[in-house]
Amino acid sequence: MTYYSNIGVAVIELTGNVKAGDKIIFRGYTTDLEHVIDNMEIEHQSVQEAKAGDQIGIKVGVRVRKKDKVYKK
Domains of the chain: 2-72 (2.40.30.10)
Residue 66: φ, ψ to 5°: -55, -40
Q: Residue type for 68, please?
A: D
State how far the alpha carbon of 33 is from the alpha carbons of 9, 45, 73, in Å.
14, 25, 11
Q: What is the pTM of this model?
A: 0.89
What averages of pLDDT result for each successive group of 10 residues across the chain (73 residues)?
Answer: 95 97 97 96 97 97 94 94
pLDDT at position 61 is 83
Distance of CA 5 to the CA centre of its chain: 14
Task: Return the DSSP state at 66.
Answer: T
